[in-house]
Amino acid sequence: MDYEEDSSFKPDPVFTNSKPKWVDDAACPCCHKCKTNFTILNRRHHCRRCGLIFCNKCSSNEAKIPQLGFNFVPVRVCDECYRMVKM
């Protein structure tokens, strides 16, 4: 998936057990959700569930994702994936 071609991507509500393809850092100059530019102080964070890149504000949640092997330690997820995981 090329970030520039599909900026309307939303995490799939029907979760699969395959690890997501992470968006390349160089292909993402700003947060996928709020569009804030990344800087030295505003770092990139990959959501462990969907693979997209977000700022800290838009990915400050953590959740266990047993389907991907994160059974015991919660990992960083974006706000949308967190909402879907907690449904």
Q: Which tens digit of pLDDT belongs to each residue from 43-59?
A: 999 999 999 999 999 99
Answer yes or no: is 68 within a domain.
yes
| CATH code, domain with 62 | 3.30.40.10
| Confidence grade of residue 2 (pLDDT, cut at 50, 70, 90) | very low
pTM equals 0.76
Answer yes or no: is 39 within a domain.
yes
Answer yes or no: is 9 within a domain.
no
Answer yes or no: is 40 within a domain.
yes
Q: Which tens digit of pLDDT belongs to each residue from 4-32?
A: 444 454 555 555 667 788 899 999 999 99
Q: Given the structure tokens 């569930």, which residue do they identify?
A: 49
Answer yes or no: is 14 within a domain.
no
Answer yes or no: is 5 within a domain.
no
Q: Given the structure tokens 């990139």, which residue do they identify?
A: 44
Q: Which domain holds residue 51?
A: 25-85
Residue 49 CA to residue 16 CA, distance in Å, equals 10
Give the three-class secondary structure for 77.
strand
Total structural domains within the chain = 1
Answer yes or no: is 71 within a domain.
yes
